[in-house]
A and B are shown apart, each in its own frame.
Chain A
């Protein structure tokens, strides 16, 4: 008898003989914030993240350029801004160990918690978001959902192999409760609100195979 069968048989022999129906989970969205973007900003800042206010006019990427100006190695996976480490040429994760700034775009964000979702599609190499010293995330304000109940309805969790909510930077307070950013992963996480350059086209059935 395999361990699998053994365990399942042991479970069946032990199952409590009580009726416990699966409850319906509401969306808890009756009272949404007036602005999802400003609610997201507040939540992000509480979690130690940095919200980059885009300038009222001119170069909307200016706050990002300022951040990376003195960095040696910048790795970008977004078309909006170029880095000097081409992720397409990276063959082993360890080659990302010297990255100062990684720039990526979030699949979406959650206002309730200030989280951004990063998946393998956004990162190209997952380790980029953890080995870099600092992380800059572009976020389309149209991609913010109100809470986690809405977040878990998103298709990313059924399509991607890896999807991670980042809610602020790497943090610890394991020693006497003193808060430290950059325990093991990124020392800072900044989010710039900026619409996607390429708006996803409404997909017709024939086009779907190209997704």
Chain B
């Protein structure tokens, strides 16, 4: 089939061979292919291949992200599908952005609202608590993951609850919540399709929005065949999704309690907001009588009018979809129900005091930085061996464990694309570089990376040598750190050249075309 979509601006494919020959299951409205939610804008097809697994975890030892990434790259079907799908999300995001004339203004507003709120965080949390309590919500505070898990366990014990249906929450991943619940004999059922796949496969989510994006349909078929009894030979996606719906529905109906996260918390009304595409958070919250929401303290914003800014940005940035299918506002328990909110710190208040890094708390977990990152797209989220992967992970994970995640800030080419797409304007690539310096200072960086840092420092201080180095490296994005990443001292450079090197560097083009002196 000829792929006309490929010719459209903004629809370029990285791996045209991944286009499906036919797509008789695509849905249309008014002659247009539907690609809302996480839907791909073009049909993609993979060939079966064993699934590469994530980083090897050895206690507190530094994660070797490059090692796991190398295994992902050695699985070309996985690598290409992953790369293609995330790049498609990035391009859909751009398409949405161009529909909104005030896009850049919204980003600036979002950043300013978050920075204002974070610099008055104590006041707004206090306001939220008062209003939520007045509406009948039980509000709890947890200093760390262990306290969060104990509090939730306590609430469940008070209700003799033995099973819990929940929607996806990165915070509960951070807290190791499922492992804890298993240890106290409470069954947790994830209700987001991607997260359920990951739970059944005993893997962590690999992406904050699309948790199983690193898997092929055949990987899912194998997981479901082993766990919910589907036909191992049938990897039809509609069949797999329907089988999961049918298998999960009885668990939803029988659950003793429900749990959600929270995307936003509104101080003035005591409201928390949950965004999903599947409606699974609303099932979790509205079918059992007991609803518990675990929410990081940085999710707060002052007023409803600010919520509009974030809701307009979130799904457009995440998936290139104008809105999540469900955006639900919880301001109090329903008749006959009970509602609890657990506000969790777990290192956030400490991060607020880090001069170079506190703005990472602005993050709304859209995943846009991951979708655009060339390193993330080609290495898979599980290669990071941490709760948060991709560019945002590089600057958050070291705050949890500087030694274990000391390699992560090096898994970046510092091309700045993450910063450019961030809806709340976090200077992600600058913070990545600042973490490298910080970790070297703390002696948490292996020697080989120190040598690369030193070489970078020397090269940076000599612009002519830098330009010569760039020209000889012949890479598309003529940034120094990219060259540094691609040199022989850093394992990340291996096999990772940019596919279409420009004939000229920007500098040589500028010299030739503008003819000016330096």
Residues of A within 8 A of B (CB): 2-4, 6-8, 10-16, 18-23, 25-26, 28, 43, 45-48, 93-94, 97, 112-115, 120, 126-127, 129-131, 147-149, 151-153, 157-158, 160-186
A sample of 13 more A-B contacts (CB under 8 A), given A11-B297, A16-B118, A166-B326, is: A8-B122, A16-B119, A16-B353, A21-B112, A25-B306, A112-B312, A127-B286, A160-B331, A167-B322, A171-B39, A173-B38, A175-B212, A183-B241
Residue of A nearest to B339 (CB): A161
**Contact partners of B328 in chain A: CB under 8 A:** 162-165
Residue of B nearest to A45 (CB): B29
In the assembled complex, the CB of A146 is this many whole angstroms from the nearest CB of chain B, namely: 12
In the assembled complex, the CB of A171 is this many whole angstroms from the nearest CB of chain B, namely: 4
The answer to whether B220 touches A175 (Cβ under 8 A) is yes
Which of A6, A46, A94, A186 is in CB contact (< 8 Å) with B143? A6
- Choose, from B54-62, B273-281, B432-440, the stretch at the interface: B273-281
**Contact partners of A43 in chain B: CB under 8 A:** 322
The answer to whether A183 touches B278 (Cβ under 8 A) is yes
Which of A25, A164, A177, A186 is in CB contact (< 8 Å) with B85? A177
Determine if B334 is an interface residue (Cβ-Cβ < 8 Å). yes
| 20 A-B pairs in the complex with CB atoms less than 8 angstroms apart | A7-B297, A7-B343, A7-B349, A8-B126, A13-B349, A14-B353, A21-B116, A45-B30, A46-B34, A93-B288, A126-B282, A151-B308, A161-B330, A162-B332, A163-B331, A170-B326, A173-B39, A177-B44, A183-B277, A185-B326
**Contact partners of A6 in chain B: CB under 8 A:** 141, 143
Residue of B nearest to A115 (CB): B323
B300-357 contacts to A, CB under 8 A, are 302, 304-309, 311-312, 321-335, 343, 345, 349-353, 355
In the assembled complex, the CB of A7 is this many whole angstroms from the nearest CB of chain B, namely: 5
- Choose, from B178-186, B190-198, B371-379, B421-429, the stretch at the interface: B190-198
Which of B135, B142, B304 is in CB contact (< 8 Å) with A3? B142
Interface string of B347-389 (1 = CB under 8 A from A): 0011111010010000000000000000000000000000000
In the assembled complex, the CB of B277 is this many whole angstroms from the nearest CB of chain A, namely: 5
The answer to whether B269 touches A158 (Cβ under 8 A) is yes
Total number of B residues with any Cβ neighbor in A under 8 Å: 110
Interface string of B202-214 (1 = CB under 8 A from A): 0000000011110
**Contact partners of B105 in chain A: CB under 8 A:** 26
The answer to whether B122 touches A12 (Cβ under 8 A) is yes
Residues of B within 8 A of A (CB): 25-27, 29-30, 32, 34-40, 44-46, 81, 85, 88, 102, 105, 108-109, 112-113, 115-116, 118-122, 125-126, 129, 135-136, 141-143, 147, 191-194, 197, 210-213, 215-217, 220, 237-238, 240-242, 245, 248-249, 252-253, 269, 271, 277-280, 282-283, 285-288, 297, 302, 304-309, 311-312, 321-335, 343, 345, 349-353, 355, 358
**Contact partners of B118 in chain A: CB under 8 A:** 16, 20
Known: A25-B306, A131-B287. A181 touches B27 (CB 8 A): yes
The answer to whether B331 touches A162 (Cβ under 8 A) is yes
Which of B122, B129, B326, B329 is in CB contact (< 8 Å) with A167? B326
Residue of A nearest to B344 (CB): A7
The answer to whether A167 touches B102 (Cβ under 8 A) is no
Known: A7-B143, A97-B253, A170-B277. A179 touches B37 (CB 8 A): yes
Residue of A nearest to B279 (CB): A185
**Contact partners of A153 in chain B: CB under 8 A:** 304-305
Known: A28-B102, A182-B245. A94 touches B287 (CB 8 A): yes
Known: A173-B38, A174-B211. A11 touches B334 (CB 8 A): no
The answer to whether A47 touches B36 (Cβ under 8 A) is yes
Cα of A131 to Cα of B331 in the assembled complex, Å: 22
Cα of A6 to Cα of B122 in the assembled complex, Å: 11
In the assembled complex, the CB of B278 is this many whole angstroms from the nearest CB of chain A, namely: 4
